[in-house]
């Protein structure tokens, strides 16, 4: 849900550090790492200073004081629309923040813990864009190992083909911490099962393209590091395949991780909103698996 208007009216918002672009989608993916209120406010200050952060997808946001501090601070920094679903019981959630008021929540097609999968439609430079944020659960405690993770992944896989109907003919972006890696990941990690690789594959099957791999097919990249120092590419950005040709940039950035604002790399995406090219206009429609 969005922060109620009566609450926003009580917040003295700064002018955004960077006015939102009208010729491109500029999106930033940030893992909040269940931050305390103090660190959440520092995260919001850092995010607001980034030119690429017209749209922000925040994962692993707490449902208590830290998460509330984060959304309030983002509003103070000029984010005009904030979609911050509250879970019915304590759990992590995903938050969407927009520098523009031209954004509205859309019913999430993900039926399991939908507070981890908010959806929105935003208008940028006269173009409608569909957004889905995702935060996949970790493996969980030993007595419930992978139960929540598999249930959520199954619900997402089932929902993905519905997105094209929810956001017809418009660019669609799915961004989040998926807690899975791609096939052929370097280094390989034996802990991941076939069902986890199949989850990653389900995005392609549903007509979505890995934006980073589209631009960097052979680059080894990691967004999170374990205690042993091994890297994992957990954070992902997907774009509807007919619009992948519009991806101008998709990168991982480690400054926030290296300064301990978060334990994940930040991802950024820039998607051109120029007139459709011939290749895009003639791209085949996505089909359900």
Q: Residues 250-282: pLDDT tens digits?
A: 999 999 999 999 999 999 999 999 755 444 544
% of the chain exceeding 70 in pLDDT: 89
Domain annotation covers residue 236: yes
Helix extents (H) in the chain: 5-8, 37-48, 65-76, 147-166, 194-205, 211-215, 255-258, 278-281
Domain annotation covers residue 88: yes
Domain annotation covers residue 287: no
* pLDDT for residue 68: 97
Edge-to-edge strand list for the sheet holding 24-31: 81-83, 93-98, 55-61, 24-31, 266-272, 247-253
| Residues 228, 231: Cα–Cα separation, whole Å | 9
| Residues 173, 196: Cα–Cα separation, whole Å | 21
Domain annotation covers residue 288: no
What residues pair up with 121 in beta bridges, in sequence order?
104, 130
Token match 């993916």: residue? 29
Instruction: Determine the structural domain holding residue 164 and report its residue range.
Output: 5-281
Overall number of domains in the chain? 1
Domain annotation covers residue 112: yes
Domain annotation covers residue 11: yes
Give the model confidence (pLDDT) of 58-111 as tens digits: 999 999 999 999 999 999 999 999 999 999 999 999 999 999 999 999 999 999
| Residues 137, 113: Cα–Cα separation, whole Å | 10
Give the model confidence (pLDDT) of 113-168 as tens digits: 999 999 999 999 999 999 999 999 987 666 676 799 999 999 999 999 999 899 99
Minimum mean pLDDT range among 13-22, 89-98, 192-201: 13-22
Length of the chain: 289
* pLDDT for residue 12: 60
* pLDDT for residue 4: 45
Q: Beta strands of 154-257 (E only): which ranges?
A: 172-177, 208-210, 224-225, 231-232, 235-240, 247-253
% of the chain exceeding 90 in pLDDT: 78
Tokens standing for 68?
Answer: 């509330």
* pLDDT for residue 249: 98
- Which CATH number belongs to the domain containing residue 51 in this structure? 3.60.10.10
Sign of CA dihedral 228, 116, 98, 120: positive
Token match 């893992």: residue? 31
Mean pLDDT on 6-13 = 51
Tokens standing for 181?
Answer: 């890696």
Domain annotation covers residue 289: no
Domain annotation covers residue 45: yes
């Amino acid at each position: 849900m969005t922060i109620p208007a009566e609450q926003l009216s009580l917040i003295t918002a700064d002018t955004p550090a960077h006015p939102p672009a009208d010729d491109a989608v500029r999106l930033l993916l940030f893992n909040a790492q269940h931050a305390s209120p103090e660190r959440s406010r520092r995260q919001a200050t850092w995010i607001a200073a980034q030119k690429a952060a017209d749209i922000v997808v925040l994962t692993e946001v707490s449902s208590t004081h830290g998460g509330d501090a984060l959304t309030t601070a983002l509003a103070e920094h000029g984010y005009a629309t904030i979609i911050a679903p509250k879970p019915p019981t304590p759990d992590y959630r995903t938050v969407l923040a927009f520098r523009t008021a031209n954004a509205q929540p859309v019913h999430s097609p993900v039926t399991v813990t939908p507070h981890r999968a908010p959806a929105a439609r935003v208008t940028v430079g006269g173009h409608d864009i569909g957004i889905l944020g995702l935060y996949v659960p970790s493996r969980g405690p030993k007595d419930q190992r992978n139960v929540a993770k598999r249930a959520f992944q199954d619900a997402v896989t089932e929902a993905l083909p519905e997105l094209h109907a929810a956001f017809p003919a418009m660019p669609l972006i799915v961004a989040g911490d998926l807690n899975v890696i791609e096939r052929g990941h370097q280094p390989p990690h034996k802990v991941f099962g076939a069902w986890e690789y199949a989850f990653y594959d389900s995005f392609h099957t549903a007509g979505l393209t890995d934006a980073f791999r589209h631009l960097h097919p052979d680059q080894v990249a990691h967004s999170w590091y374990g205690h042993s120092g091994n890297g994992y590419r957990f954070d992902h950005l997907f774009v509807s395949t007919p619009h992948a040709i519009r991806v101008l940039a998709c990168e991982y950035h480690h400054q926030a991780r290296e300064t301990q604002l978060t334990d994940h790399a930040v991802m950024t995406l820039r998607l051109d909103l120029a007139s459709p090219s011939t290749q895009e206009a003639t791209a085949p429609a996505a089909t359900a698996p």
